Amino acid sequence: MDYIEVVKQLNKKQVAPIYLVYGNESFFIQQLKNKIEQVTIDGNKDNLNVYDLEETPIEDVIADVETFPFFGDRKLIIANNASFLKAKPEKNAVDHQLEVLENYLTNPVDYSILLVVAPYEKLDERKKITKQLKKHAIVADCREVKEYELRKWMEQLTEQLKIHVTDEVYDMLESEISTNLHLLESELHKFSLYVGENGQVTKEIADNLMSRTATSSSLRLADAVMNRNLHQAIEIFRDLEKQKEEPIALVGLLAFQFRTLLRVKLLKQKGYTQGQMVKQLGAHPYVIKLALKREGQFSVETLQYFMNQLTEADSVMKQGGMEKDLAFEMLLYQLVQGNNAVRPIKEQKYI
């Protein structure tokens, strides 16, 4: 069962006596811990005991599980780092009496919830204890979300939040935030608070609300250059400086934006479709879609000029030829001016 399905059960107050949480996505694991704690003991820390199985034997954990709670009707026991479920347990690991856990699985008490956490990508399916846990516990798969699974995960979360999100907003979230699940969830929660239940999140709303990442800011910088707005470009740069963004890194991000425009323009001239460009360049479909909307504003010569200026600025900064912030502002000036008149430069290979 995946993370979302377990959360759905918990939202309906359907609580099991034993949970096994495994996988290498720390965000999912922590969220499930929080959710189970909220549903089972309502955040009452007096009814929560946490153990590290690399330090405490499982038989001691089970002894606590079988002890009546002192404060309330039910308690939650979290047993972290169940390395005995791996093919190769940690060296110098505690010697666990796993038969105690096996016996408990077949006859759990009704006043304790046991949460076993194995923060590993894979478990050893051949082990008896793994098979027994998967048979008797609710198993939550918390492995990392792959890029091709991200849309499904976001759709499930928006369904829980009871909001509607347009495809364009999903594209923005995928391309700008990628698989940073902490940030993705934060942005979707922010949208839900703004539009309310059954509200729709449009591109305009997302543009206004989304936290600025380095990727999204480089898009804004590129837009300012395209619009020949030097004042706005420098303003965006100074905002990024306050966020401790390095000018050299920003040169790289701008270079990515304009290199993508140039490569898309050259492929378009060769008759490539949008889908073929995605495969050829290995870029996110939304990135190609944006580039196709923008490439018409520039000639090949202008984009080559931009790439030449970006390369020179990168070299000047790395060699210490000029203060980095001054060099970047000079670069912005040259890029904006380059929109008006561009001298031909030696053609380079960009595909």
What tokens were used for 148? 């091709």
Q: Which residues of the chain are modeled with pLDDT < 70?
A: 92-93, 147, 178-179, 212-218, 339-351
d(CA 28, CA 135): 22
282-286, long-range: CB within 8 Å, 24+ apart, which pairs?
284/171, 284/174, 284/175, 285/171, 286/171, 286/172, 286/174, 286/175
* Spatial contact of 314 and 300, defined as CB atoms under 8 Å apart: no
Distance set, CA 194 to CA 121, 197, 230 (Å): 36, 9, 32
| pLDDT in the model for residue 118 | 95
What are the tens digits of pLDDT across the range 266-312? 999 999 999 899 889 887 787 888 889 888 888 899 899 899 999 99
| pLDDT in the model for residue 253 | 82
Bridge partners (DSSP) of residue 2 are 141
**C-alpha angle 242-248-249 in degrees, rounded to nearest 5:** 75
Q: Do domains 147-209 and 214-338 have the same CATH topology?
A: no
**CATH fold of 214-338, please?**
Zinc Finger, Delta Prime; domain 3 (1.20.272)
| pLDDT in the model for residue 87 | 85
3-state SS of 249-314 is: HHHHHHHHHHHHHHHHHHHHHCCCCHHHHHHHHCCCHHHHHHHHHHHHHCCHHHHHHHHHHHHHHH
The domain defined by 147-209 carries CATH number 1.10.8.60: yes
Bridge partners (DSSP) of residue 76 are 48, 113
d(CA 130, CA 9): 23
Give the position of tokens 């780092």: 81
For the chain, the domains span 3-141, 147-209, 214-338
**CATH fold of 3-141, please?**
Rossmann fold (3.40.50)
Name the residue type at position 87: A
- The number of C-alpha atoms within 13 Å of 67 and in the hemisphere containing its C-beta is 13
